[in-house]
Amino acid sequence: MAEVPLEAPAPKAVVPFTPVILKHIHEAGSHTLDHYLARGGYETARNLVGVAEPASLVKIVEDSGLRGRGGAGFPTGKKWTFLAKGTGKPSYLTVNGDESEPGTFKDRYIIEKDPHQLLEGVILTCWAIQSHHAFIYLRGEFILGYERLEAAVREAKAKGFIGTKIFGKDFDLKVVVMRGAGAYICGEETGMLSSIEGGRGYPKIKPPFPAVSGVFKSPTIVNNVETIAAVTHILKHGAAWHKQWGTEKKPGLQALLPFRRGEKTGRVRGAARHHFKRNDRRLWRWNGGGPHAQGRYPRRPFGPPADSGDGGEVHAGL
């Protein structure tokens, strides 16, 4: 009997790219509360905090397939489910903004140009994991980012979005912005937690993992700046919206940092998860121009779909 050849699965349809997290960073005043409110900012938090069941929000993030954008790529929603409960101790959210790898600056632009987007993600995450304390830890050299994030926290607190009974609901939230002292190792999560505690930024042995015993030996969730910013949009639009980009195993959009010796650099946002070849001209042809490009970023795809590493195809764009 002749064998019937198996058909290859149909490739995932390419969804036109639409800027999301970096969409407003070139607009004047994008870091201010007025600008953020004018584009619907904090409406998702207002609608969900004190109203939606926290576990349902964790489920949405888990179903979205969002993975950590700090490098490890661990599923964000699954990490949240590991948070120890019933310990008698407070739980904490710590946002890792210690972007110290050479040539990296994607989180810096979120912090400097759109800090309220990050804060809304912090608020939503804290409600989802039922934490009343959040730390945002920044690289010490991010002076402008620190000033703007501190100003954003003050603006949000004045509006009742942070502090006691936020949005008029029975939920309190304290957000503290901390600066590192230039220690590269504090980009590692347990090194960062040691620094937050006031000690030397030195990694801790795992287990126990932070979700069980983290900062101040209490249950702690550690997420990257871009990850928390993405939570804002996922809880606004839903899990299916997030999964329309990327691949089955690594869905969603992700900031990329084209960086090559002797050529212009830049930051872009594309479908996760790319495995571009080192000399892939499709990428470098539209590399964005870097921090000295004064906002001149071509809003177009890089070119043909690139192999995602999972047998599918993805598109990238600015």
Strands lying side by side in the sheet with 316-317: 253-256, 268-271, 316-317
DSSP-derived letter for residue 10 is: P
Beta strands in the chain (DSSP E): 92-97, 133-138, 174-179, 220-224, 253-256, 268-271, 306-307, 313-314, 316-317
- Taking residue 257's Cβ as centre, other Cβ atoms within 10 Å add up to 16
Residue 81 CA: distances (Å) to CA of 88, 215, 316: 17, 18, 31
Q: What is the pLDDT at residue 303?
A: 40
Q: What is the pLDDT at residue 6?
A: 58
Calpha distance 209→207 (Å, rounded): 5
Question: How confident is the model over 227-245, as pLDDT tens digits?
Answer: 999 999 999 999 999 998 8
What residues of the chain score a pLDDT lower than 50?
Answer: 262, 265-318
Q: What is the pLDDT at residue 9?
A: 54
Place of tokens 């600066």: 179
Q: What is the pLDDT at residue 166?
A: 98
Q: What is the pLDDT at residue 223?
A: 95
Domain ranges of the chain: 33-243, 247-318
Amino acid 4 reads: V
Q: What 3-state class would DSSP assign to 173?
A: strand
**Right CATH for 33-243 from 3.40.50.1970, 3.40.50.620, 3.40.50.2000, 3.40.50.11540:** 3.40.50.11540
Residue 174 CA: distances (Å) to CA of 92, 98, 127, 270, 307: 10, 20, 12, 33, 43
Is the overall model pTM greater than 0.75, yes or no? yes
**Residue-wise DSSP of 260-316:** -TTS----EEEES-----TT-HHHHTT----TTSTT----SB-SS-EE-SSSSEE-E
Q: What is the pLDDT at residue 265?
A: 47
Q: What is the pLDDT at residue 259?
A: 54
Q: What is the pLDDT at residue 103?
A: 66
Amino acid 54 reads: P
Calpha distance 98→169 (Å, rounded): 32
Place of tokens 């700046």: 225
- What sign does the CA torsion over 284, 286, 289, 291 have? negative
Q: What is the pLDDT at residue 56?
A: 97
Which pairs from 278-285 meet CB under 8 Å and 24+ separation? 280/306, 282/306, 283/258, 283/316, 284/258, 284/260
Q: Report how many helices (DSSP H) and strands (DSSP E) the chain contains, helices first.
A: 11, 9
Calpha distance 49→163 (Å, rounded): 13
